Chain A
Amino acid sequence: MSKYTEDDLREELKTKEYEYGFYTDIESETFPNGLNEDIVRAISKKKEEPEWMTEWRLEAFRVWQDMEEPEWANVRYEKPDFQGISYYSAPNSKPKYDSLDEVDPELLATFEKLGISLDEQKKLAGVAMDVVVDSVSVATTFKKTLAEQGIIFMSISEAIQEHPELVKKYIGTVVPQKDNFYAALNSAVFSDGSFCYIPKGVKCPMELSTYFRINQAGTGQFERTLVIADEGSYVSYLEGCTAPSRDENQLHAAVVELIALDDAEIKYSTVQNWFPGNAEGKGGVFNFVTKRGLCEKNAKISWTQVETGSAVTWKYPSCVLKGDHSVGEFYSIAVTNNYQQADTGTKMIHLGKNTKSTIISKGISAGKSQNSYRGLVQISSRAENARNFSQCDSLLMGNECGAHTFPYIEAKNKSAKIEHEATTSKIGEDQIFYCNQRGIDTEKAIALIVNGFSKEVLNKLPMEFAVEAQKLLEISLEGSVG
């Protein structure tokens, strides 16, 4: 048998097609393409939103009109035509179901293909799922169990109806409407998303989870997630994405806001596997996401992400460490292959005293892809004894890809302690040789090394998610991850 080399692996990666590229034929109700005030009003009306919400959307839309698409990111792509997108699409099979049996069987089949069948999840994993197919949540499980503890976990459109006081108080407080181009767009047209409120002192007994998929042809996905952890509470929230194959580029511009009040802790994990485009770099999803969390006193927010998909990723989950003694964490694996481009990282804004942040970022680039880490650590002049540790490691496979690091570090306080280190390397021949010599073939050896390289981050994922994450890594780097 001939030796399995890195070249073979690259060849295999090139030819490996997107396994989840199927398209479920569900009748959808879709708005005409284009965006104007009427469309914004129509979306709001469709969702039977109160007046203040409509006004809030319109305000965002007006701001958005005057904004320009950002160009500073280290990514090249053809700008989406914002008038060529339909801003609302909902599966037709409404209203909601009490049991899974009533759900459109085709939809259930879709989930089964993804390996996340609701039944299984419900019975075995104990995970409550707010399943989002094309923007409207179809089934919310375990709602009753959660309700007993006072936990509110529902789609954001329901929350706007049922808990307007909470939504009104917190929406846009962490990511204001005019924060950036895509956040403004999202604020104007968001179709649905998840809302979660954990009351004081409650430790959420299960991992909350949503799955996003872009399904209908030519529809943009504008999710809005709002997670509020009240004083002393704890929640672990999972978010996963897979999207079917499409030739034209699809736009995904989500906004996630996390609010951790005093002594609360939020753990937010993401597995992102939107369609990355085929081997020639055609198609694929544009992922322009704004994620930010606000920490009050003693609070902690931890972002974990596994980014394997999307043609273009532009994403910086951030923490505003406002309260004293608050903690922010960011763990990330970004894998790019073929013509994928990723510009991802985090911002840690230290405002309070004795705040701490940790950044661990692992980038793996293969094929002709470009992988960038872009991070900001900012210590304000009042943030006494702030502490930051950042580590960015890149692994390059092949000489046609690129790895870039753009860390920004701004310190205005003398008691700050900041460390940043970054390394770039390839899989060493000696490492492979060592494995070979112990009877591990080259393919397995590469798998072992890549796995070890990403272990620090994979370890941070909740158990239920780790399996899924590994599955997604396999698609991107088939044969590399065991």
Chain B
Amino acid sequence: MDLKDKLVSSFLAFENKVDVDSYVHDVRTDAIKVFEEKGFPSKKEEAWKYTSLNKILKEDYSVFPKQENALEYKDVKKYFIHDIDTYKIIFIDGKYSSHLSETTHDGIDVCLMSAALTKPKYRLIIENYFNKAATKESLASLNTAFSSEGAYIHIPKNKIADKPIQILHFSTGNESATLLQPRNLIVAEENSHVQIIERHQNLTDNPVLTNSVTEIFAKKRAIVDYYKIQNDTAKASLIDNTFIKQQRESVASVHTFAFGGKLTRNNLNFYQEGERIDSILKGVTILGDKEHVDHNTLVHHIEPNCESHQDYKGVFGDNATGVFNGKIIVEKEAQKTNAFQSNNNILISDKASINTKPQLEIFADDVKCSHGCTIGQLDESALFYMQSRGIPKKEAKALLMYAFCNNVLSSVKIPEVKYRINKIIANKLGVDIGFNL
């Protein structure tokens, strides 16, 4: 039985197990139908031209984790941003871990999707927002059909989340292969502000496939800052679907740091539904081994006077492959749009490859849209200069690569996150430099 059949047939069992009101039930039933019809995307689809899921789908994933597993904080401390105080929503094998987490209902809601889906007091929010941003794309639908757990964050009007929120997913490899489908909903009401850090971590060598969906709603003048840290083991694959709906004058930024994993696919979608919106998409990708990362972004400019900025940097070594597929759509009404997209890549090995496809689809005439992409190498003369000053070649290379990525890092607003990223980069490049200059 292949994975698709297995998922479709286990859907019924799943629906019986969770007791939910009819609204979500209908959404799920519709979603499984969409998935059943479309199946997993194949390379024949334009959006999946450079990424094949075939190998990953061959594993025999267990869809529902059977037993709970506890982790000690000291064992996993290194995966936390632990030097600052944060709210934490921690999942182990898809199950909420109350003893590692720190949630709140004091002024803001930082809690669980399962609570939001079942408790009557969240009913209105769920009906208004749940699955309202996600598209009917097959993998997002699959997640919708099985959505039961994840983070639920609600920041009311005029509130500022007093500390950043960390969402961590650990997989302990209890089962031979695990499929995780976390579902997050984040609603930032008018004038609110929230910072979120998300990370997926596999703790063993057993394969894990995570198919995650995050829906974010940024209302009038809300500010949402989202950081995704992807630095997983060689057996972990991640398909991340993020959908962000923005209302007027809101600012939403997503930083994606992709440092590894067997296969990572980031579907990042922004919908601008008001005027004077700013959307920021930034990413650093540093890969080695046989890792594969696919960034698939969409910015949909629907209303006038909005901006979007995309900046993705990639360094590819060994047999790594990188894909960047960025799309900007500017609708007829979206006059005075200012959209910018850039994708720069460095190949440092003969066997690494990069496929990039920055697309523009423009239907309005009074716009400023530009995109650029480059593929190149480290500057030999700069390398030589540094070596002549006594910096060893390896370190000199690392410094250049760090400088190459710095544009993206400089816009990270939480210093501790930046330090952590710097550390991971140093580690990834095999040097012992702090980069915290």
Contacts and interface: CB of A to CB of B under 8 A. Distances in A.
Interface of A: 72, 379, 381, 394, 396-426
A421 B353 contact: no
Given A408-B355, A409-B355, A410-B353, A421 B360 contact: no
A399 B358 contact: no
B368 A425 contact: yes
Interface stretch (B216-224, B342-350, B411-419): B342-350
A184 to B, nearest CB: 21
5 contacts: A405-B361, A411-B355, A414-B352, A421-B370, A422-B358
Given A404-B362, A424-B370, A417 B353 contact: no
A416 B357 CA distance: 16
Contacts of A407: 356-359, 373
Nearest to A377: B375
A420 B372 contact: yes
Given A410-B355, A422-B358, 4 more contacts: A407-B356, A418-B373, A418-B376, A423-B370
Interface in B355-409: 355-377
A424 B369 contact: yes
B360 A403 contact: yes
A404 B359 contact: yes
Contacts of A379: 375
Interface of B: 46, 332, 335, 345, 347-377
Nearest to B371: A422
Given A72-B46, A404-B360, A414-B352, A409 B365 contact: no
Chain A CB count within 10 A is highest, among B348, B371, B375, for B375
Contacts of A422: 358, 360, 370-372
B395 to A, nearest CB: 20
B374 A414 contact: no
B379 to A, nearest CB: 11
Given A403-B360, A405-B371, A414 B365 contact: no
A373 B355 CA distance: 18
Nearest to B378: A414
Contact of A406 (B351, B357, B367): B357
A409 B46 contact: no
B355 A399 contact: no
Contacts of B363: 399, 401-402
A409 B350 contact: no
B372 A424 contact: no
B365 A401 contact: yes
A414 B372 contact: no
A424 B367 CA distance: 7
A418 B372 contact: no
Contacts of B351: 381
B113 to A, nearest CB: 37
B375 A409 contact: yes
A406 B371 CA distance: 11
B334 to A, nearest CB: 10
Contacts of B350: 381, 413-414
Given A404-B361, A424-B360, A414 B348 contact: yes
Nearest to A370: B363
Q: Which 3 A-B pairs have the closest CB atoms?
A: A414-B347, A396-B365, A418-B375
B372 A408 contact: no
Contacts of B352: 414
Contacts of B353: 381, 410-412
Contacts of B360: 394, 403-405, 422, 424
Nearest to B316: A414
Contacts of A419: 372-374
A266 to B, nearest CB: 28
A182 B361 CA distance: 27
Given A72-B46, A405-B359, A413-B350, A421 B367 contact: no
Nearest to A419: B374
Contacts of B367: 396, 424-426
A411 B357 CA distance: 12
Contacts of B348: 414
Given A421-B370, A425-B368, A416 B347 contact: yes
B362 A416 contact: no
B332 A411 contact: no
A424 B364 CA distance: 10
A406 B348 CA distance: 26
A161 to B, nearest CB: 44
Contact of A426 (B46, B347, B365): B365
A409 B349 contact: no
B365 A406 contact: no
A410 B322 CA distance: 10
A446 to B, nearest CB: 13
A400 B366 contact: no
Nearest to B357: A408
B362 A420 contact: no
Contacts of A410: 353-356
